[in-house]
Amino acid sequence: MSALLEVSQLKKYFPIRKGIFGKQVGAVKAVDGVSFNIKKGETLGIVGESGCGKSTTGRAILRLIEPTEGEILFNGTNVSRLKPEELRRFRTHMQIVFQDPFASLDPKWTIQKILEEPIRTHMKLPEAEVKDKVANLLEVVGLSSYHAQRYPHEFSGGQRQRIGVARALALNPEFIVCDEPVSALDVSIQSQVLNLMRDLQDQFSLTYMLISHDLSVVRFISTQVGVMYLGRMVELASTKELFREPLHPYTKALMSAVPVPDPDATKNQIVLSGDVPNPSSPPPGCTFHTRCSMANEICSCEAPEWKEVSPEHFLACHLY
């Protein structure tokens, strides 16, 4: 199947300014040349440590922040070139669900109003149909229509996240970026939301990009996984292949660091030394070389190339 979304060489640099004139003295390379495709109906999971650029990638694709460079093709449309008015209309195809369901819902609005707002702005529907649509959205995410007149603070975390999902679904999008959708939830609630996301994907043939720092969540829901480190993607493969045989030293370390909820498990943990470097002055060469146990001379001077080591398995490391 062909790709719904094709991203190539995406970059987002945030300027670092100093002094009263705001002279630019440097840049945080939050995303530094990331490329991937997502096929229709599939889910790309993005994992990596805090600050590695996961959210920035997600937002830049939707142009919620302006990319510095790179091309974003969605169903053949070049999203990166859309003018403001075209972009506004195009947004109906691509939506986002945020980590903190509370911060992303206006506390003064009822659920009815929260869900109506995008429908009114983007669709010309008769009043009665708007009401029906809202009732239907609530049902789809497992809430009832009597919830519609309530305010966000009257809901639990899991319910608020369902409302966030309902809002994202309001315009019948094809693609949803889910940025840490279950990170703020307890496990027993987290599993409800993850099941819901899966059901909706089947029901509406949705395509997802799932951002999470939790590898087991990503494994559950993704067909493909990309691993990011300091603004770059270091490995990208099908979920099956990546979990069976991770190749990049960082992917290996990340996987081995996850505590396994099984006291009988034996594992060889690779404990990385040191902290993630500052993204405003990343190490030269392979940015992971300061923490990599496999590093040799070339790693600290030359950046490894992004290459396809086997079909649909991409990697940036001098070892391969």
Partner 1 sequence: MKVLDLKTEFQTPAGVVRAVDGINLTLYPGETLGIVGESGCGKSVTSLSIMGLLPKGQSRVSAQEIKFDGKNVLAMPESQMRQIRGNQMAMIFQEPMTSLNPVFKIGNQIAEALQFHLKMKKTEAWKKVVELLRLVGIPRPEAIAKEYPHELSGGMRQRVMIAMAMACNPSVLIADEPTTALDVTIQAQILNLMRKLQAEKGTAILLITHDLGVVAEMCKGVVVMYAGQIVEEAEVKELFNNPKHPYTKGLLASLPRLDGSQDRLESIPGQVPNPLNIPKGCRFAPRCAIKMDRCDQLKPELADLGHRHYCRCLLCQEEDS
Ligand X SMILES: Nc1ncnc2c1ncn2[C@@H]1O[C@H](COP(=O)(O)OP(=O)(O)OP(=O)(O)O)[C@@H](O)[C@H]1O
What residues make contact with ligand X under the rule CB under 6 A?
14, 28, 30, 48, 50-56, 213, 279
With CB under 8 A as the contact rule, which of the stretches 35-43, 143-151, 167-175, 185-193 interacts with partner 1?
185-193
> What is the nearest approach in angstroms of partner 1 to the Cβ of residue 252?
11
The secondary structure of residue 32, as a DSSP letter, is E
Pick between residue 74 and residue 288 the one whose CB is nearest to ligand SF4: 288
**Token reading at 98:** 């945020």
Residue 54 contact partner, candidates ligand SF4, ligand X, partner 1, none, CB within 5 to 8 A by sort of partner? ligand X
Q: How far apart are CA 282 and CA 231, in angstroms?
A: 9
**Is there binding between residue 262 and partner 1 (CB under 8 A)?**
yes
Q: Which of 7, 170, 178, 295 is close enough to bind ligand SF4 by CB under 6 A?
A: 295
Alpha helices in 91-208 (DSSP H): 111-122, 127-140, 157-169, 187-204
Confirm if 230 and 52 have CB atoms less than 8 A apart: yes
> What is the nearest approach in angstroms of Mg ion to the Cβ of residue 232?
16
**Is there binding between residue 163 and partner 1 (CB under 8 A)?**
no
Number of other residues whose CB lies within 10 A of the CB of residue 39: 15
**Is there binding between residue 269 and partner 1 (CB under 8 A)?**
yes
Residue 286 contact partner, candidates partner 1, ligand SF4, ligand X, none, CB within 5 to 8 A by sort of partner? ligand SF4
Pick between residue 264 and residue 305 the one whose CB is nearest to ligand SF4: 305
Confirm if 225 and 211 have CB atoms less than 8 A apart: no
> What is the nearest approach in angstroms of ligand X to the Cβ of residue 15?
8
**Is there binding between residue 232 and ligand SF4 (CB under 6 A)?**
no
Number of other residues whose CB lies within 10 A of the CB of residue 274: 7
- Closest Cα partner for 87 from 116, 66, 117, 69? 66
**Is there binding between residue 148 and ligand SF4 (CB under 6 A)?**
no
Q: Which of residues 48-87 bind Mg ion (CB under 5 A)?
A: 55
Pick between residue 174 and residue 180 the one whose CB is nearest to ligand X: 180
Residue 56 contact partner, candidates Mg ion, ligand X, ligand SF4, none, CB within 5 to 8 A by sort of partner? ligand X
Confirm if 38 and 88 have CB atoms less than 8 A apart: no
**Token reading at 221:** 């829901």
Residue 138 contact partner, candidates partner 1, Mg ion, ligand X, none, CB within 5 to 8 A by sort of partner? none
> What is the nearest approach in angstroms of ligand X to the Cβ of residue 17?
10
Angle between the N-to-C axes of helices 111-122 and 127-140, in degrees from 0 to 180, rounded to the nearest 10: 120
- Closest Cα partner for 64 from 36, 25, 98, 35? 98
Residue 11 contact partner, candidates partner 1, ligand X, Mg ion, none, CB within 5 to 8 A by sort of partner? none
Pick between residue 34 and residue 272 the one whose CB is nearest to partner 1: 272
Residue 299 contact partner, candidates partner 1, ligand SF4, ligand X, none, CB within 5 to 8 A by sort of partner? ligand SF4
What stretches of 180-250 adopt beta strand conformation (E)? 207-211, 224-229, 232-238
Confirm if 237 and 314 have CB atoms less than 8 A apart: yes
Q: How far apart are CA 229 and CA 31, in angstroms?
A: 10
Question: Which residues form the interface with ligand SF4 (CB under 6 A)?
Answer: 249, 286, 288-289, 292, 294-295, 299, 304, 317-319
